Amino acid sequence: MKRALSSFIAAVCLATLPTAFAGAQGGVQIARAQAQTRLSPHQIQPQQFHVYQSRIYADRRPIHLFGLNWSGLETRDRAPHGLWAGRSLQDYFAQIKQAGFTAIRLPVSPDVLDDSKKVADWAQEAGYGPTGLKMLTQTVDAAARAGLWVVLGYNGHDSKVSGGDAPAPYARDGSYKVEDWLNDLARMAQFAQQRHYVVGIDLFNEPHGISWSEWKGLAERGGQQVLRYNPRLLVFVQGVAETRTDTAGYGAFWGSNFVEARRRPINNAMIPAHKLVLSPHVYGPDVYMMPYFKKAGYPLNMPAIWDAHFGHMASSNAVCAGEFGGKYRRGTKDANWQDAFVSYMNQRPGMSYCWFYWQFNPNSDDTGGVLGEDWQSLNSRKLSLLGRLKSAAR
């Protein structure tokens, strides 16, 4: 049954691939489409998102996902952080759009798929909610009205815990099973059915307590579930960390490690290649001081490490950094890391066309945000840094 269903999904998706991608005329039509990469969700309502030659397309048109993460929906607040500052969702999203970004990634928990879980008082006082599902709907619809594409990221099964307490898409005590996760992915995919501006679903945030072998099997099941309920979407799959997994001899950030994916790739019978986006999360010294950040010659040693962990996949897959960032203070190792990583992405197929910086809101202790601590101004240095990616992609 699974084989038949995955074959059906693959056939449906392949049938909708643009004819420009077959035959001698393909290059001509793709070249013509390059000029349309700045189109927003208002201008097109795609029937299919898909990957071709490491790029993401909405039907026949290549699109750029120059994105920011905006956290809060995945927490007990069940609302994007900053609505307490007297600004509306529409005001924030307009600011993001005007700064040149084209997409937003929203980490979520199952609580925001529930129409009985209440959002934080400050969100209700600002006129939002009152439930998690209504808050999610209000947020993604406001993003679309601003002309932004949306990626939804499954962050963890319990909004009261995160990070080290959520190392896999199931609970060790059995209180949340793989089947529960698959059901929640189905709900996310169904939520996106009538929202053409939702590009894809990121299956799970930073699986660091399981091996690549285990995660690969789970991701295949999760991706198949997403496509079963919404074959229009892309499936974003993160890497792992270090648990029972080859790291090529370098410490790996949670979600960054695709070393074993070269010899044990995602099964394209489960997630077709034209629906798959590999999405590493990778950080610098502001988040954790890896030993290689202290080596002589740093940061010139970093491209080889990034190549080993995920860059080696970029020539044959869409690779989209789902999280990267830091405080980017002048003269620091972290600033050196971010400068080097932006240069690295500009030199790898497709990576400058799809990325999501962590994060928009400033209340992250180890990275800060693109938005200033006054919840009004934007960090001009970070905008300049990310502008190098946007300029190279165009």
* Separation between Cα atoms, residue 88 and residue 52, nearest integer Å: 37
Q: Taking the CB of residue 374, how many other CB atoms lie within 10 A of it? A: 8
* Separation between Cα atoms, residue 134 and residue 112, nearest integer Å: 8
Instruction: Please list, in sequence order, all residues whose beta carbon lies within 8 angstroms of the beta carbon of residue 196, skipping any fewer than 6 positions away.
Output: 41, 45, 46, 232
Q: Compute the half-sphere exposure of residue 98: CA atoms within 13 Å on the CB side of its CA.
A: 8
Q: Compute the half-sphere exposure of residue 291: CA atoms within 13 Å on the CB side of its CA.
A: 4
The one catalytic residue among 74, 220, 260, 323: 323
Question: What spatial distance separates the first Cα and last Cα of the chain, rounded to whole Å?
Answer: 44
Per the CB < 8 A criterion, the answer to whether 206 and 242 are in contact is no
Q: Compute the half-sphere exposure of residue 183: CA atoms within 13 Å on the CB side of its CA.
A: 10
CA distances to 43, 95, 130, 193, 287 from 39, rounded to whole Å, are 6, 18, 33, 20, 34
* Separation between Cα atoms, residue 394 and residue 105, nearest integer Å: 21
The one catalytic residue among 74, 206, 220, 260: 206
CA distances to 27, 317, 325 from 41, rounded to whole Å, are 25, 24, 26
Residue 191 one-letter amino acid: F
Residue written as token pair 């393909």: 26
Residue 260 among the catalytic residues: no
Which H or E run includes 103? strand 103-108
Per the CB < 8 A criterion, the answer to whether 281 and 322 are in contact is yes
Minimal CA–CA distance to 46: which of 187, 150, 185?
150
Minimal CA–CA distance to 196: which of 43, 53, 36?
43
* Separation between Cα atoms, residue 207 and residue 255, nearest integer Å: 6
Q: Which residues are catalytic?
A: 206, 323
